[in-house]
Every structure is written in structure tokens, then in C-alpha cells.
Amino acid sequence: MTAARITVCLAGATGWAGSELARAIARSGDLVLVAGVSRTHAGRDLGDVLGDPQIKCPVYKSAAEALADWCDVFVEYTKPDTAKANVLAALERGAHVVVGTSGLTEQDYAEIDAAARQRGRGVLAVGNFALTMVLMQKFAEIAASMIPQWEIIDYAHDDKIDAPSGTVRELATRLSRVRPPEPAVPIEQTVGEREARGASLLGTHVHSIRLPGFVISAEVIFGMPDQRLSIRHDSGNSARPYVDGALIAIRRVSTLVGVHRGLDSVLDL
């Protein structure tokens, strides 16, 4: 007997990240895309929109319409202003939810967690699905448990307007949960331009560089007397790095109840 395939509704199916994920789901064998969401392409077949004959599913203009048919897992990959309403609508319909969209607040997640627990459904929210970034976070957490001083450098292209990046914010938050860093000179005791020491994110000094020639990179440097450890992550230009982690999240989210943050929630690291 073959196992039932997991049905997926993908909000943001025509976007930079969502379209790459749609192609991978169509080739997966154990997942089936039953609906996509995009305002611009509503009413069309997603395979025609993406020029991919392996994809066959209707596109709806809103998550509410797409959710009229049953899906096991709803994937949110649109924009922060619609993400929360989409996630709550999916939980209301009884789906488990994977959130790739960035920008939801702690308050949003508290509300989503309450709704998910009430219905016994899982929500897996992952700020960066790239497996190499998940590993970087894990390696950095191990290092922070043994080394009390570190700083982060956040590199990006010159037209990125937000700083630090969401990925670096998440990294700083994770490290602060391991322990607060112990700088020899606290930032407020700096003599000269305090800004030169970077922003303080939960105690971690973060330095954002925005220059042409960079895509997105993050480097955390741990320092001890007469020794130094750098852990660095570099992303390319395509959305390919985010696919494998998103597929894992879709396959495993039904093992969870309530909101869980980070792909490591479903990995045995």
C-alpha cells in the first residue's frame, strides 16, 4: 500500500521564492500542489503561469478562496501584511501551516499560537529555510556556549534597505538565548563614536555592510585570548537554497502542535 500524498496550498506560488518551491513540490512524488494564491494570475493554471507542464493546479486570488478545498498543509510565502490573516484562515480550515514570510511580530505569533493550539494544529515558522544557514545557527550556538565574546557582520547588496537582515536578527536572538555576550568594554562606555561598535541586538554587536558586489552573507566571529573562530554563511542570487528546507518543513509540520520557530524544531541536530 502506498502512503497518501500530502496536499499543499501555496500562497505566493508565483513569487520569487514560491515559484521555485512550486516546481520542487511538483517533482517530489510525496507532495501534491492543490492550489496556489496570487492576485495577478488568479483564474489561471499555475503550470501555465510558470511555464512548467509538470505543475497542474488552479491559482486563486486569495487564501480564503484557495482554502475552500481541503489541503493538509498551507504554505505562507506572500507579504507580511497578508500573512497573519492567511495563516489564521488556514488554521480555521484545519490545515497545518508552514510560514516562510518574514516580518510577522511576536504578537502575531502569540495569536497564531493560541489559534493553532485550540485546533491541535502545527505552525512551523522559518526565517531562513537554507540548510546551510540552519547549520550555521547550530554551530554558532555551540560556540556561544563555550566562548563568551562574539560579534556579527551582516553583508548585503547596496540597495537592501533594512538593516540588520532578518537572518542576522534571528542569529543574534538565538545566541542571546545561549548566554548574554560579555564584551570587555560595554558599548555605552565606548570613547569616541559609539556607532563604530555597531548596533546592539540583545547584547550582540552587529555591523551591517551594504555594498555592490555582495549578495547576502553573515559572519559571526568568536574571540578568545590569542585565538579566533569565524563562522560564515554566503547565499547566491537564486531561491534554490530555500527549497530543500521548505520541503522538510511541509513533510514534518503535522508532527507539531502550536507555533514552532526554526527548521531545527523538526530536525534531529
Ligand X SMILES: NC(=O)c1ccc[n+]([C@@H]2O[C@H](COP(=O)([O-])OP(=O)(O)OC[C@H]3O[C@@H](n4cnc5c(N)ncnc54)[C@H](OP(=O)(O)O)[C@@H]3O)[C@@H](O)[C@H]2O)c1
Footprint of ligand X (CB under 6 A):
12-18, 37-41, 62, 77-79, 82, 100-103, 126-129, 242
- 91/147 with CB nearer ligand X: 91
- 28/62 with CB nearer ligand X: 62
- Output the smallest distance, CB 9 to ligand X, in A: 12
- 200/208 with CB nearer ligand X: 208
- Output the smallest distance, CB 113 to ligand X, in A: 18
How would you classify the pairing of strands 204-210 and 199-201? antiparallel
Strand partners, 258: 122
- Output the smallest distance, CB 85 to ligand X, in A: 9
- Output the smallest distance, CB 135 to ligand X, in A: 14
- 126/147 with CB nearer ligand X: 126
- Output the smallest distance, CB 230 to ligand X, in A: 23
- 228/240 with CB nearer ligand X: 240
Nearest residue (beta carbon) to ligand X? 15
